[in-house]
Amino acid sequence: MKKFLLTIAIILTSIALNAQSQRCNRLFLYQKGENAAIYNMNKVDSLSFGGLGVGNNLNVHNSNGVTDRYDIDNLDSLTFKNVEGKVAADINIIDYSTTYVKFDITRTPSCKGFKLMCMDYTSILSLSSNDLAKYICEKTTETYYQDFENVEIKDLALDHNTEYAIVTVGLDEYDLPCDVTKARFVTRAENLVGNPNVAVEVTKNELNEDNFCDFTLKLTPNSETSKYSIFVAEAGVTEYQYIMFRHMEGWNNIGDMIEGWGYEFKGNKSQQYPNEVPGALYEVYIQAQDVNGTRAPYQVFKFRTQGLGGEGVAEVEIKLGEYVLADWMNLETYEWELKPSQFFTFIPNDQTNAYRFDVMLEETYLSDIDGHQEELCSDPFMPTDGWFQYEQLTTDYQINPGLKCVAIAAAKNSNGEWGPITELYFTTPDKVPGDEEENANLELIVDKNTILANGKDIATFTVKLDGKTLESGYLLTNIESEGLLTDNQFHTTEAGTYTFVAKYNGISSNEVKIEAVSDTPDTSGIKLIADKTKIKNTGTDKVMFTVLFNGVDVTEEATILNVTDNKNLNGYSFSSTKTGTYVFNASYDGNKSENVSITVKEARTYAPGDLYDEDGVKGVVFHVSEDGKSGYIMSLDEADLQWSTENVWANCISIKGQWNTEDMLKLGADKYPAAKWCADHGEGWYMPSSQEMNLLWTAISNGKHVFDDEYIKLYNDKLDDPLKEDYYWTSNETAETMAEVIALMGDSVVCLEPFKVRFYYVRAIRQF
């Protein structure tokens, strides 16, 4: 038995390697005297050994939580095969009523057959693709093995003015259920008299003095309309709010929402909407009724508000203002108090449509620059007052003395393209405004007035007040660029003359000039370069070496020596299971490089909910191996982004989010904002697959798949952006137009027609 178990383990290992290289996605378990059990690997989480005895079962853990167990003594073999592309039956609806639906169905090349069902659309919103496929396969007996053209389902008994969907489940050559496709339609109102509808015209659409948009809608119902209701919001908000509140409000369809939350009118109406978002796409949802009060199908009218800016590069200039005492409300006593306050002026250029800014402690910003910049350059999921600014603004922040801070700002142009991020580093004076010393002498001193313009040679400043060196509270300004130094040092790669002045509590120092002279980079000799200097003792964490000779890569011809044990490396990488410091050098053509030291440190153990902070990588652990030395972490931040900006099949069907992310980015990173955002976190970060995101959901809900604020607090207390009871993208797609989301709100993977071009939350993950 032990020998057989070892054989199976080796087979599984080789299969895993083979699956990674060939992307195999079907698993066959052959049992003695029985037909093979076949699995779609996109719906399998993992394989394991275990059972009543010692490892006498092979367990297949499905993504729906069900585990299938097989007696190893009855297993003959395991094999993998691959099915290319999506397996789906695409639907094109031609015509419909409450009694019939006409449509075309076209199978993809890998789709052998399909099952079909007509369903109430609201009943499938909370079902994952897997759950929906399982439900249809259980409830239907007929399987179709050919394409349909202008086929008709008859004798239906559908409700009037209600949304339905034709749903197909594609079956592969092994009859496994795969991709789910849905086509929506809304039935006509019952006994509708005529064709009630309302014409919409935008009669005013202009910017006001505050750079917000004022628009007026002219609403003209036809003679067959008795009354109508309208609901106006930015594009996408109405459907989102319907999904979020339909159960709470008892809505059966969007018409219920329009009448429940909208304005009701009779006859012609001119409706004004002041101070709306400029340059935004708006939707007018209209629910009209006939002379008998019967609803017609709702209408949607779209238009864009007048915008600011142009199509060029949008930028924001930040100017540091006074540091003074200002009135601030004490939120505990609700009384006004004088507190130190730093003023800023934010100046958008003429290409700016909208901009955002923030001010924070320097250490907070530097701990996650990418995260703060991504949050800055983001749109709200729903309209949020004060999210964007549109004109020059002077405002202040309450900041205590002697704090290192940074102000950041970014703008987007009329095309919605974000420009560069402006950073202004500053330190508040170390005394409260009003306590400045009168007639004080501020002196600026530099250790050298000439430096090499190589980005490495540094001039160091000292600031003295009446002969006493100041440690903080002063500002150092480069007069030529009007830029602030982030510390008391200056270096540059551009030759020229630079002038500096210090300011402290309203006092200005003398001017100091520094001459930066050109420098020719040194590329002579041999150099050994390591991509990192610290690794863990896992045996898999590696450092990669590069050898340069006179600036040319000669790694393949060079010899790399491990000086510590006096052995040459077999290749260009080094890993170890033993901790310690290891020294290396390189030799080439009789030349020897300087030594490079690599530290191998003990790999720490982690548990779900722990903060991971090693070697510049920071996240929160949500899944670990048995020994706790490896697992997954989630990013501290999240973003509200599109899955993609185009409807193209990207082959993202793997259970490994890293593969899916790579496949997307190969097609053009800018076309896949969510994946790019994840990858931009740095090496090893990627967009999770649905299985990996489900691991996260299982972890933060303690396996219950219920959003328990108290338990999730274990994770949220360590995250910059707390996890929300909302929808999150995964890297798995279900069609050319749609991808899967995970709903952190119920016991399911929810597919609510998540079109790729829509905005949902995304959180990056990484293995450690």
Domain end point (choices 270, 304, 338): 304
Domain end point (choices 427, 458, 487): 427
- In 3-state terms the chain splits into helix, strand, coil percentages (rounded to 5) of 15, 40, 45
pLDDT > 50? residue 4: no
- Angle between helix axes 690-700 and 709-716 (nearest 10 degrees) is 110
Same domain as 531, residue 493:
no
Same domain as 762, residue 615:
yes
Tokens of 12: 């599984």
Question: Is 502 inside a domain boundary?
Answer: yes
- pLDDT computed for residue 434 by the predictor: 56
Question: Is 436 inside a domain boundary?
Answer: no
Sheet holding 163-171, edge to edge: 113-120, 163-171, 177-186
Same domain as 588, residue 627:
no
Same domain as 669, residue 594:
no
- Residue 747: CATH number of its domain: 3.10.100
Same domain as 760, residue 625:
yes
Question: Is 309 inside a domain boundary?
Answer: no
pLDDT > 90? residue 661: yes
Segment 385-431, tens digit of pLDDT: 678 888 888 888 999 999 999 999 999 998 889 999 999 999 998 87
Domain end point (choices 468, 491, 517): 517
Same domain as 365, residue 413:
yes
Query: Which range among 101-110, 482-491, 513-522, 532-541 shows the weakest confidence by mean pLDDT?
Result: 513-522
Gap between the Cα atoms of 498 and 598, Å rounded:
39
- pLDDT computed for residue 190 by the predictor: 77
Same domain as 582, residue 503:
no
Same domain as 172, residue 98:
yes
Gap between the Cα atoms of 293 and 384, Å rounded:
35
Same domain as 763, residue 615:
yes
Gap between the Cα atoms of 41 and 267, Å rounded:
59
Read off the pLDDT of each residue in 444-470 and give the average, rounded to a whole number: 85
Gap between the Cα atoms of 634 and 696, Å rounded:
8
Segment 308-331, tens digit of pLDDT: 888 899 999 999 988 888 777 776
pLDDT > 50? residue 9: no
DSSP state of 72: G
- Residue 138: CATH number of its domain: 2.60.40.10
Segment 71-97, tens digit of pLDDT: 887 888 888 888 888 999 999 999 999
Segment 541-559, tens digit of pLDDT: 889 999 998 878 899 899 9
Question: Is 191 inside a domain boundary?
Answer: no
206 vs 246, which has greater pLDDT? 206
Question: Is 618 inside a domain boundary?
Answer: yes
pLDDT > 70? residue 18: no
Same domain as 763, residue 621:
yes
Read off the pLDDT of each residue in 119-131 and give the average, rounded to a whole number: 76
Same domain as 760, residue 619:
yes
Gap between the Cα atoms of 700 and 765, Å rounded:
14
Gap between the Cα atoms of 568 and 570, Å rounded:
6
- pLDDT computed for residue 61 by the predictor: 83
Segment 231-278, tens digit of pLDDT: 998 887 787 777 777 777 888 788 889 999 999 999 999 999 988 888
pLDDT > 60? residue 437: no
Same domain as 415, residue 373:
yes
pTM comes to 0.40
Q: Which of 576, 499, 582, 574 is nearest to 544 (CA)?
A: 574
Segment 571-582, tens digit of pLDDT: 889 998 888 899
- pLDDT computed for residue 559 by the predictor: 94
Question: Is 53 inside a domain boundary?
Answer: yes
Question: Is 560 inside a domain boundary?
Answer: yes
Segment 499-510, tens digit of pLDDT: 999 887 667 888
State the pairing for strand pair 177-186/727-733. unpaired
pLDDT > 60? residue 52: no
Question: How confident is residue 16, by pLDDT bands cut at 50, 70 and 90?
Answer: very low
Question: Is 192 inside a domain boundary?
Answer: no
Gap between the Cα atoms of 525 and 538, Å rounded:
34
**Structural domain span for residue 222:** 198-304
Tokens of 240: 């989102």
- Residue 483: CATH number of its domain: 2.60.40.1080
pLDDT > 50? residue 38: yes
Gap between the Cα atoms of 568 and 17, Å rounded:
29
Q: Domains in the chain: how many in total?
A: 7
Gap between the Cα atoms of 178 and 654, Å rounded:
13
